[in-house]
Amino acid sequence: MYQRLPRSTPHRSNGLNTRAAAETDAGRPTRRLGAARAGAPRSDLAARIDRVLDAALAREPEVMVSVSADELFQDPGAVAAAVTATLDRAGAGLTAQWRVTEVFRRSGLGRELVDSLVSPDPAARASAAQLCGAIRLSEAVLWIGDLLGDPNIQVREAAIRALGRLGGRRAVDTMMAAVDRVPMYRLAISLSQAASDIEIETLIRQPKSERAAVATVLACGLRRDSLRVPPLLGIAHDRRWPKRVRLAACLALGMIGDGSVADGLGKLATGEPDVAVKAAAARAQRRLQRVARRQRS
């Protein structure tokens, strides 16, 4: 069992007020930027990228992107959206992801983008991180991790988002190594996107700190991970866990909305001596009741 650790250095966003995550970003693990292809891409450059990637997925030989990194930086959001939309259309298979990523590597853009992660221009660093994440350039993980401590807030934001898109063990380890430097809501969102079921299970069983445990528990809620409902309910009830982790577990159970925990939350809402945990359980229970009413109507 996880033992209470010394409280980490306070961060300006390390509280459990996860309104931004729970209400604004709750759907983000499954709703990626550019996932909907409603109309034409937002720029001529994005349209070109879109056509090239479609050709790559159609297995046309030696497809390349004939643009420079500087050109991509003129509209990184539209390009990232085009890449993400292509991957969404192709499905979750690794083969499609490899074909898309290989187009950029073969064109020399992969190296250009990685090199741009250490550019003296913060706009270039942020754009490079955004594009590396969208393209799934796994070789960029180490350098993107360094940007989590960048002095520019836009660069830091782009870096944590990119790690969420990249996914995989290295991205997860990189995020968790920076757990005290990343706002909690953003860490939980990116972790929910990046981590596999096995990685989430490991992080719940063996959290390295209280803050890491909170982020993992919230990530379960953001994923609406019904497989984690029993351990989350156990955490909410277990007074050996730090209060902040128990509060996060109640919040996560409310986000998941699994009615099977209604009785367990009800017992916590009536019999828990800690006022804050008791209130959190009551809020989660009310959310479950609202979900149940919507399902019946």
pLDDT on residue 96: 84
- Torsion of Cα atoms, 208 then 211 then 263 then 284, to 10°: -160
168 shares its domain with 275: no
185 shares its domain with 244: no
Domain end point (choices 204, 232, 266) = 204
Q: Are 175 and 190 in contact (CB under 8 A)?
A: yes
pLDDT band (50, 70, 90) for residue 297? confident
Residue 4 in domain: no
287 shares its domain with 176: no
Q: Are 64 and 103 in contact (CB under 8 A)?
A: yes
Residue 29 in domain: yes
Closest CA to 85 of 60, 59, 54, 110: 54
Express as a percent the part of the chain with pLDDT over 70: 86
Mean pLDDT of 266-272: 95
Residue 295 in domain: yes
Residue 125 in domain: yes
pLDDT band (50, 70, 90) for residue 1? very low
Q: Which amino acid makes up residue 236?
A: A
Kindly report, residue by residue over 19-48, the tens digit of the pLDDT: 333 333 333 333 333 333 444 445 888 888
Kindly report, residue by residue over 82-131, the tens digit of the pLDDT: 999 888 887 767 888 888 899 999 989 999 999 999 999 999 999 999 99
* Tally of domains in the chain: 2
146 shares its domain with 109: yes
Residue 172 in domain: yes
Does the pLDDT value for residue 263 go beyond 50? yes
Residue 62 in domain: yes
78 token code pair: 């539209």
Kindly report, residue by residue over 188-209, the tens digit of the pLDDT: 999 999 999 999 999 999 999 9
149 shares its domain with 33: yes
49 vs 64: CA distance, rounded Å: 10
- The three-state DSSP-derived secondary structure of 51-119 is HHHHHHHCCCCCCCCCCCHHHHCCCHHHHHHHHHHHHHHHCCCHHHHHHHHHHHHHCCHHHHHHHHCCC
172 shares its domain with 268: no
pLDDT on residue 30: 37
Does the pLDDT value for residue 155 go beyond 90? yes
pLDDT on residue 3: 42
188 shares its domain with 105: yes
36 shares its domain with 164: yes
Mean pLDDT of 159-185: 96
Mean pLDDT of 229-240: 97
50 shares its domain with 184: yes
pLDDT on residue 36: 38
Q: Are 149 and 181 in contact (CB under 8 A)?
A: yes
Range of the structural domain that residue 234 is part of: 224-297
Assign residue 65 the CATH number of its domain: 1.25.40
Residue 218 in domain: no
Question: Helical H runs in the chain?
Answer: 19, 44-57, 69-72, 76-90, 94-106, 109-116, 122-135, 141-146, 153-166, 169-177, 184-194, 197-205, 210-223, 229-237, 243-256, 262-271, 275-296
Express as a percent the part of the chain with pLDDT over 90: 68
- Prediction pTM value: 0.81
Residue 274 in domain: yes
Q: Count other C-beta atoms under 10 Å from residue 177's C-beta.
A: 13
246 shares its domain with 283: yes
162 shares its domain with 291: no
Domain end point (choices 170, 204, 238) = 204
Assign residue 278 the CATH number of its domain: 1.25.10.10
pLDDT on residue 17: 42
Lowest mean pLDDT among 71-85, 120-134, 213-227: 71-85
pLDDT band (50, 70, 90) for residue 159? very high
184 shares its domain with 278: no
Kindly report, residue by residue over 271-287, the tens digit of the pLDDT: 999 999 999 999 999 99
